[in-house]
Amino acid sequence: MRAQIRQLDSSASTKAILISQLVEVLRDAIDHNFSIGFLQHETDESLENFWKFEISRVHEGNVVLVSQIEDRIVGVVIITPESRSNGRHRGEFRKLIVHSDFQNSGIGAELESAACLAAKDNGLSLLYLDSATDFLVSRIYEEWGWQKVGSIPDFAARPDGILVDTTYFYKSLAEEEN
C-alpha cells in the first residue's frame, strides 16, 4: 500500500486518535535512540502537548505534514517559518520522523519533497535544519540536495543522554525545480 501525505490543519490538535498516532511515531524514534529533542524519560503527556502545540501553530504558518498508510500515521515532518521580519523568506525543517517499521521505504524522501514544496508554496525560499541522527547526516540530506554547513560537537543529547555532534544544513528552494 502506498503512503499518502497530507497537511494537518489546526483542528487536528483536538483529534485524540491523530495525536496518539503522532505520539507513537515520536515514541518509536525515542525508543530507537534518535536525537530528536526528547529524552527517554519523556511522558506520553509531554509528547501529546508537543504535538498539540505544533499543530496549534498551523494558523501562524507552521506546516505539519503526515504520511499515512491506510489510517495509520507512519511519518511526519514540520516546517516552521521565521517570524522575524528580516527572515520571513526562510523556515526551519524539523522533526522528520519515519516509524521504524517503515524506514528505508522512501517515505522520508517523500516527506522531504512534500515539505520543500509546501514551504515554497508558502513563499519560503530557504530552509535550514540541524541533525544529530548519524544516518541522515552522513548521506541522506546531501542526497536530497541539502548543503552541509558544519557541525558543533556535543551539541545535543540522544534519548539515552549521551551527547552527540549536531550538523547544520540548508537548502535553497529558489534553485528547486517545480
What confidence tens digit (pLDDT) does each residue in 96-128 have?
Answer: 999 999 999 999 999 999 999 999 999 999 999
What confidence tens digit (pLDDT) does each residue in 40-95 have?
Answer: 999 999 999 999 999 999 999 999 999 999 999 999 999 999 999 999 999 999 99
Q: What is the pTM of this model?
A: 0.93
Half-sphere exposure of 46 toward its Cβ, with a 13 Å CA cutoff? 8
> CA 134 to CA 139: how far, in whole Å?
9
Q: Are 118 and 65 in contact (CB under 8 A)?
A: yes
What confidence tens digit (pLDDT) does each residue in 134-173 have?
Answer: 766 778 999 999 999 999 999 999 999 999 999 999 999 9
Q: Which helix (H) or strand (E) holds 92?
A: strand 90-98
In this structure, how many other beta carbons lie within 10 angstroms of the beta carbon of residue 36?
19
Q: Give the distance from CA 21 to its chain's centroid.
A: 15
Q: Residue 13 corresponds to which cell in the numbers above? A: 490538535
